[in-house]
Structure 1
Amino acid sequence: MSSSVTLLLLVGGIVAILARLLSIGKRPKNYPPGPPTLPLIGNIHQMPTRDAHLQFEKWAREYGPVYSLILGTKTLVVLSSDEAVKDLLDKKSGIYSDRQDMYIGQTLCSGGLRFLMMEYGPKWRGFRKMVHGLLNISTAKSYVPYQVLENKQMLYEMLNQPDRFLENIRRYSNALTTTMVYGWRTPTYEDEKLKQLFEGFNEFAALNQTGTAALIDFFPWLRALPDFMLPAQKKAKELHKHEKGLYLGHWLKAKDEWKKGIIQPCFCVGMAEAQKTDSFSDDQAAYMAGTLLEAGSDTTSSTLYAFVQAMLLFPDIQKRAQREIDKVVGTDRMPTMDDEPNLQYIRACMKETLRWMPTTILGAVPHAVTQDDTYKGYLIPKGAGVLNNVWAIHMDPKRSPNPRVFDPERYMDDFLSFADSAANPNASKRDNFTFGAGRRICQGMHVAERSLFLGMSRMLWAFDIDPKFDAQGNKILPDPDKLTQGFVCMPEEFVANIRPRSKERAALVVKEWEEAQKECLDPVTKQWLQVPANLKTALKGL
């Protein structure tokens, strides 16, 4: 071969490499529209470091309900309308239920074990089937005795420690979840493992929204760099070490109690049985149960916290809700699940809270599409991430006029459950998108609906939620648009004056909790003496 031919081949190779490099970061013409890109990085430089939901909503107004972001070597398609979510994530769930490779979140933070981020396949479907056994509609109804007891303790703590209402709410949701998953309850917020859970998950959520995490995901060659050059990598590994210790400790304790025959009916009983035949590791079992613990503890407590803020900022709504409760329930007892059909305004408040302050503000973790697809004339390429832009959908003024106003009237004619609403073929009639969509939809919505109803109705039955005042006599009111950061969020911490509506109601709160302890709990351990009979039957097959 002559030197001139060799030179031509070399030049041709260099040109081809350069062309390939220059194509990275460029949006193909047949993709959904989106903001202008730069070579190599695409739109990475425009990704916000705080309040990402606001920028994603702004882009939806500029580029339409389906737009794309080019993030280095990867594509993210953003769905910002109820119709698009229904058409793709629901109707085409067979190809829209995968996950993209998330190196920081799944590989480093989770050891490849986190159910939330697991790729779509036989393993994921097997675990999802187990979760369905714990959280299906029939079993969920059986958890009401657990929910009622934890609710009574929450009210008692709010009566005696009103300034710690966030901690009281968190203990309520966490204790219910540990009971369902592991067979034991969390009797106090001072439990170090409870604190570790909330602190660790907050760190996890925040870390996965950092620019460094995105860069490592979108440019895989960066993963070869040492940790001192990429502090996010080091932090992710440390977080996994502590988190795995927590989850593995919980699981091994439950497994040991199962072997000894002393465990209460719970999800881990079924998982221990399944491990004998399916042979998955203790690490995988630990993260399977840990994922449920995260979801049940964090999202329910964040929604109840947002509800308290809404009652603080919209006192007329609070008074109307209390009037409905007083009319239906009266003053000599607390609301029960039997009252739910007659407390439509409370149900409307519940749905409006999820719309007004969605905890999974950008749909938690994006879906991914497993094959090329077209939608409204655009190509959605195989492997693209597909994001459920919950905030933009909930704040669409066509769907919800004056969207930042807390207005339960929007749902006064909505008598559907969360699950039935999510399955509504008319996407515009779905109540909220907080629980996700398609095969990745949150299976805990049946339990969450009852926890939220009991929490909201009983709080308003027992307490008034009013502002505190500063030294100058001015009301101290929170800014509802100041939210914590991460893919699961809640209002920034705020203060409120929570006080009993009457001495009689306060006395009943005390009486109910004292009687519940005597009837249900061991006086020393504060664990259940005996699982309610109907619940034992419902969980027998897990």
Structure 2
Amino acid sequence: MSKPISLVEGVTFQSMHVGRIPKGLREPPTPAGARPFVGHSHIWNGNATCNPSETQLVKWAREYGEIYQIWQGMERWVIVCLPEAVKEIFDKHGTVTGSKARLRVAMDVLSGGFRMLFMPYGKHWRAVRSVVHQCLSITSAEKMKPSQDLESRRYLYDVLTDPENFLVHVRRYTASVIMYSTYGRRVTSLDDPTYQAIFEEAQVFGVVFGTRFMVDKYPILEKLPKFLQWWRAKYEPYHQKEVELWMGLWNGLKEQLASGIHTGCFVKKFMEVDYPKMGISEIEAAYVAGTLIEAGSDSTQNTLNSLILGLVAFPETVKAAHEELDSVVGDRLPQFEDSQRLPYIRAMVKEVMRWRSVSNDHFAHLSTGDVVYKDYFIPAGTVIVGNTWALHYDPERYPEPGRFNPARFLGTRALELSAGECINVSDPCDRDHWSFGAGRRVCPGYTLAENSLFILTARLLWAFDIIAPVDTATGK
């Protein structure tokens, strides 16, 4: 019986996966091992390893080159692995590669369709994005520097008085910066009830966003009656909690502004825009603000944690940073104005985002039209993935890519440019990293994030020596 079943499965798999290919073009190469109906999911399920250079996506990149395709369930994924290919496919073809694959649990159930991160590319998404860009402009980010100055000073005090909990203090720093930037309120303690609610919500969202649910791989399951859609029962209650949380913050600020309490936060700016005329509902606006908090806090926190790991693992970088800081600022506290005179510190920020990308091992878009790259044909409806670790761990571009080595950026054009300028360079090889994504889905908070990372990195290394702990039992 096994032979006929195998034959039927093979025919079914081929019939669902082979489509039209224009004359003179070809599909990207496909790794062996795909199985009927599950594709390559049994080989790679979206999880990264502790060693970025050993992830399955990077191994395949070494074997198949700049572009290849895999199957996740019934979805075609094209994996893009070189800067030139990323520039061409994500940037130049941005009008048809700027959408997102529909994540039915993360977007439809947990988010109620309101998270900008998952909205399909189109007029409505562009309207929301334009408001976000206004709120997160370079001018707006400049106005948040006093908050970053204050919170980084508080961080130094926290580490000085409670060094054992240095990672907890990082979390408070990033949470307070983004909360003040978004809603004009500080997080002075992680026991803050509002922060606790946001943290719990972010934990749930992180799990859902990082999971490839069956209904995402096999959309036909969505045809089931709602009472049989087992994924809804667990996450619909969390959506109601999200609505209460984000609308509570939104309405709270509205009441403050109505009573004459003014703040220069992003949401105040959002409220001043005539967003209803742009087709943006109030709950969508509240979700946009919530998304800024989620992304801004977690990503910056994780990057700073990785920075500390890199400093401990590669102590020569601490020595080099101390020498630069001693030479440039001496006994006074580093300021934002010192940035151009602290190239090694700026290089540290770029290097940690290359070394341990917050986007993990990939960023994914959806093609809404056919794409031709060289002689490769990518049909509409394909999930197109930027292979972050292949981009960041290319030994030809980054010798010894597993080393945390800020000096690799010294003397490069990338170091002369801000995060926003690097994103828009014409030569993709001048780009510093791809942690902020590519194309029309680039993270809009790159300036705020870069400022937060620079000032804390400079001040942390100015104030402290950073060394690995010693085991009192072994002396090692």
TM-score calculated relative to the size of structure 1: 0.79
1:401 corresponds to 2:399: yes
Alpha-carbon distance between aligned partners in 2 of 1:205 and 1:125, rounded to the nearest angstrom? 25
RMSD: 2.4
Q: 1:272 corresponds to which residue?
A: 271
Q: Classify the secondary structure of the residue corresponding to 2:337.
A: helix
1:415 corresponds to 2:411: no
Q: Classify the secondary structure of the residue corresponding to 2:318.
A: helix
Q: Are the equivalent residues in 1 in contact too, given 2:127–2:278 (CA < 8 A)?
A: no
Q: Classify the secondary structure of the residue corresponding to 2:58.
A: helix
Q: 2:340 corresponds to which residue?
A: 341
Alpha-carbon distance between aligned partners in 2 of 1:393 and 1:270, rounded to the nearest angstrom? 36
Q: 1:47 corresponds to which residue?
A: 44
Q: How far did residue 45 of structure 1 move?
A: 2.7
Alpha-carbon distance between aligned partners in 2 of 1:210 and 1:430, rounded to the nearest angstrom? 30
Q: How far did residue 205 of structure 1 move?
A: 2.4
Distance change (3 Å), C-alpha of 1:50 and 1:19:
closer
Q: 2:284 corresponds to which residue?
A: 284
Distance change (3 Å), C-alpha of 1:234 and 1:27:
farther
Matches within 5 A, 1:467-478: 467-475=468-476
Q: Classify the secondary structure of the residue corresponding to 1:464.
A: coil
Q: How many residues align structurally?
A: 456
Deviations, residues 180-226 of structure 1 (Å, cap 9, x unaligned): 21122212122133233334323322333335x1x211212223558
Q: Which amino acid aligns with 1:303?
A: T
Q: 1:23 corresponds to which residue?
A: 15
Q: How far did residue 448 of structure 1 move?
A: 1.3
Alpha-carbon distance between aligned partners in 2 of 1:21 and 1:64, rounded to the nearest angstrom? 25
Q: Which amino acid aligns with 1:33?
A: P
TM-score calculated relative to the size of structure 2: 0.90
Q: Which runs of 5+ in 1 are unaligned?
A: 1-15, 476-542
Q: Classify the secondary structure of the residue corresponding to 2:95.
A: coil
Q: Classify the secondary structure of the residue corresponding to 1:51.
A: coil
Alpha-carbon distance between aligned partners in 2 of 1:99 and 1:470, rounded to the nearest angstrom? 47
Q: Which runs of 5+ in 2 are unaligned?
A: 1-7
Q: Are the equivalent residues in 2 in contact too, given 1:25–1:39 (CA < 8 A)?
A: no
Q: 2:308 corresponds to which residue?
A: 308
Q: 2:206 corresponds to which residue?
A: 205
Distance change (3 Å), C-alpha of 1:25 and 1:44:
farther
Q: 1:144 corresponds to which residue?
A: 145
Which range moves more in the overlay, 338-347 or 217-226?
217-226
Distance change (3 Å), C-alpha of 1:441 and 1:122:
same
Q: How far did residue 256 of structure 1 move?
A: 2.2
Matches within 5 A, 1:525-540: none
Q: Are the equivalent residues in 2 in contact too, given 1:168–1:189 (CA < 8 A)?
A: no
Q: Are the equivalent residues in 1 in contact too, given 2:328–2:342 (CA < 8 A)?
A: yes
Q: Which amino acid aligns with 2:124?
A: K
Q: How far did residue 445 of structure 1 move?
A: 1.1
Q: Classify the secondary structure of the residue corresponding to 2:78.
A: strand
Distance change (3 Å), C-alpha of 1:113 and 1:292:
same
Q: Are the equivalent residues in 2 in contact too, given 1:114–1:288 (CA < 8 A)?
A: yes
Alpha-carbon distance between aligned partners in 1 of 2:9 and 2:281, rounded to the nearest angstrom? 43
Alpha-carbon distance between aligned partners in 2 of 1:222 and 1:444, rounded to the nearest angstrom? 36
Q: How far did residue 430 of structure 1 move?
A: 0.8
Q: Classify the secondary structure of the residue corresponding to 1:77.
A: strand
What is the percent sequence identity of the aligned residues? 36
Q: 2:354 corresponds to which residue?
A: 355
Q: Which amino acid aligns with 2:370?
A: D
Distance change (3 Å), C-alpha of 1:312 and 1:232:
farther
Q: Which amino acid aligns with 1:400?
A: Y
Alpha-carbon distance between aligned partners in 2 of 1:315 and 1:181, rounded to the nearest angstrom? 36
Q: How far did residue 240 of structure 1 move?
A: 2.2
Q: 2:245 corresponds to which residue?
A: 246
Q: How far did residue 38 of structure 1 move?
A: 2.3
Alpha-carbon distance between aligned partners in 2 of 1:279 and 1:260, rounded to the nearest angstrom? 27
1:374 corresponds to 2:366: no
Q: How far did residue 363 of structure 1 move?
A: 3.9
Alpha-carbon distance between aligned partners in 2 of 1:70 and 1:204, rounded to the nearest angstrom? 25
Q: Are the equivalent residues in 2 in contact too, given 1:57–1:391 (CA < 8 A)?
A: yes
